[in-house]
Amino acid sequence: MDVVEALNRRKSTRAFLQRGVDEAIIEQILAAARHAPSGANTQPWQVAVVSGERKRQLQLRIEQAFRDGIPGKMDYLYYPTEWTEPYRSRRKECGLQLYSALHIERKDKDRQREQWAANYRAFDAPVALFFFMDAGLQTGSFLDYGMFLQSLMLAAVEKGLATCPQAALGEYPAIVKRALGYPDDSILICGMALGYADPEAPINQYRVPRQEVAAFTRFFR
């Protein structure tokens, strides 16, 4: 598989087979991703690989916080505080496609809430990854982390695995840090579901549209 094929095949998967992932394969994926570039070779990534009973216990705590009405608050602002165009429309279209794939109507708030709760279980994938970095690092390290995450996801595709990068898994950082023993002042970047995609699941059948190159590119000659 070449890089372009892996880029085209990668997508956010939200339904997984109940099939474990060998730790040796996860190590191989991480070994490939570690070659991602970082400013001054800082390599800011710190990765927690969570599975089995440890994952079950952690996701129960996170999901319960959500169901108890405790507002999630990430260690940093991921989304804008005010949505403007074209981002507002893209966000809306993304949500509509997801709920349409599951035949969840706009007025069905209960089913929408249940689907959102699945975020906190990493969509029941067998593995959840959590990504941390030291508190003293700055904006450039977030850029480095993005390259690392994409490298990891492409390596996963090459191994026949599926992923879903999730800001939602970073919404209750205190719970995650306490459970996994990371410092209170560390930054929880996000989480990621990892496993083998369920090819029959309706939620895995749709793809969100991408802008054509001409829409976001200017050539200066």
**Across 121-137, average pLDDT:** 97
Structurally, how many domains does the chain consist of? Answer: 1
Question: Is residue 220 included in any domain, yes or no?
Answer: no
**What is the predicted pLDDT for the residue at 32?**
98
What's the order of all strands across the beta sheet hosting 46-51?
A: 46-51, 127-133, 187-195, 162-166
Cα distance between residue 114 and residue 45, in whole Å: 32
**Across 20-39, average pLDDT:** 98
CATH number for the domain spanning 181: value is 3.40.109.10
Question: Is residue 126 included in any domain, yes or no?
Answer: yes
Question: Is residue 164 included in any domain, yes or no?
Answer: yes
Cα distance between residue 8 and residue 11, in whole Å: 8
**Predicted structure pTM score:** 0.95
Strands 162-166 and 127-133, by their bridges, are unpaired
Question: Is residue 194 included in any domain, yes or no?
Answer: yes
Residues 75, 190 contacting (CB under 8 angstroms): no
Q: What domain range is 10 assigned to? A: 3-208
pLDDT tens-digit profile of 169-204?
Answer: 999 999 999 999 999 999 999 999 999 999 999 999
Question: Is residue 217 included in any domain, yes or no?
Answer: no
What does DSSP assign to residue 75? S
Share of the chain above pLDDT 90, in %: 91
Question: Is residue 215 included in any domain, yes or no?
Answer: no
